[in-house]
Chains A and B, each alone.
Chain A
Amino acid sequence: MNSFKFLTAPDVPAAIQLTDDQHLAAFIAGGTNLLDLWKYNLVNPTALIDISQLAALSALRELENGGFRLGAAVKNAETAYHPIIESRYPLLSKAILAGASAQIRNMASNGGNLLQRTRCYYFYDHQVPCNKRVPGSGCPARVGYNRMHAILGASEACIAVFPSDMCVALAALEARINVTGIDGERSLAFSDFHRLPGERPELDNNLKPGELITSIDLPEKGFPLNYSYLKLRDRHSYAFALVSVATALEMNGPTIKEARIALGGVAHKPWRSLEAEEFLRGKTACRENFAAAADMILQGAVGLEYNNFKIKLAKNAIIRNGMMALDPDAQLPGAQPSL
């Protein structure tokens, strides 16, 4: 463990300016992941800049375009239990509540949720190489115990998966990420925020150095009637997903008007297939059609020695969650199977 300075700033521009002044500075909001990584000697900031009290990051509010803005420093629990999230974006509420524990959700920030590092055990183990931890050193997971690892979008360099639940719902809902950096503000589509490992697995996302997530915008459409978040894991609660599925449907009787399906626990970022979602448009919501969509989503999936089971698990989860989305009230606490 190393020492660091603790700094505060009155507003976002001042906080960003501090990153320019300080070598190896990091922002801290909830700290639930950052301080854990610091204790594991995986990050070594020389300064932490406290953004948890910044007013500009601390609101949940409606937008003029009918959408809803999640402040980056607002806690996950406050977000999940907000009346508008529960009523208009229940998929997001369910996904947040399927992640971590009640204590961590009381601490963790919305912006920080997007920036979680992988839970690949080789990433945490300084005794072994890891391309994400030490670029170019190698990946022991590929030939090691890879039960929790990626089946989609992986590279020779890295088969780590992104652990967030909240982000799986945000991907399905097509949220946007607002960031501010030294060069000003910009907005990223959710699908453009996280990245696949390729040859640079040390980079989890497309944030530029010193950029700060200020808020997450949800579009007006929240799919409040037909949705489900299913999380499959080694224990019923407080464990990371082996496979998770966020499904949002807009129905017209038995027919699907619009479908969104995002997978968690299978890739370096939440995984969607626009082709599969387009296929479901105008189709009946039934097991056969969800199975056909699942095959499209899982096209190109590659299993390794210990995670091959995930391909079939993901297919079954997509089918089951499609059916569960037709009856959201039946879902059990903790995003467990209800059918």
Chain B
Amino acid sequence: MVVRKGIKVTVAKLRKGLILSIGVIVVLALFPIIGVPRVWLLYLFLFFIYLTMANMWNLLAGYSGLVSLCPAAFIGLAGYTMTIMTWLGLPYYVGILPGAIVAALFAMLISIPVFRMRGIYFAIGTLVVPEILRVVFLLWKPVGGPMDGGGRGYTVHGVAEVSRSQPYWLALAIGIASIFLMRYILRSKFGTGLAAIRDNDNTAASCGINVFSLKLYSFVIAAFVMGIAGTIFYIYQGFIEPTSAFSVRWLITLMLATVIGGEGTEEGPIVGTIIVVILYFLLARYAEISLIIQGIILLGIMLLAPQGIVGSIRETRTYQSLFQLATRR
């Protein structure tokens, strides 16, 4: 009896949570229609894009033990794929999926050398990858005349007349999807396998978990989802150029968002991305010192609360007792 009652309560709670989140999503989706200021839309757009990427970076660094420094490679490659497809006369939305697929295939390709490395060597290996791509795209001009491509970059064709709300909706969709994807992954057999690997990969391997393939799956999934977010970002920006597309700034933003919130926690990237976007908003006027301040914040967080905000809250006694109360049957 007691158990059934408990289940009923949880189901009711779940339903309440679901209704609440659907309500929030609908309101967010209606924002462009009800005429919310453009600046809000821009920052919300950035929030969803960064949230998606930070979630994926968290999946890699926080859950799979892969401190991968190459998100810019996936983002830039997907963005370039989409842009080149618009130059071939296809509408921009056709390019989103191929962009992500190219990013995922590229992840598989670089996993051949990179997955042979461990720990710090893996970090070094992945750091090199975006730089290689940057040089490649500075030299290689797949489409257009001699005046396009290379260092001059490409404009994304066919997005000038598209309203700003379409990329916003796409970003909203992928942002929400990434949250649910993380929930799903972490509660699946795959997620528990990853957790086992993160805690001790030798033990995990001796328990029959295929460490290599699980890491590879999460690498490829992260590349795919980051690729989608990357294409949406470049649809909004309408322009792509190698130095910014393969820049280390992508990594710094994602790292900042994940670390501030709490690496290896599910809510961490959400909290962190909110703070990062607010920070961007506040620092927009002081562009020249913006990155210095971000660097100082990164150092400060690492010194004062290395588990991030969510991680630190979890350690407090109030949270522990609330958690016990909430889970008691």
Tell whether A and B belong to one assembly.
no
On B, residues with C-beta under 8 Å from A are none
On A, residues with C-beta under 8 Å from B are none
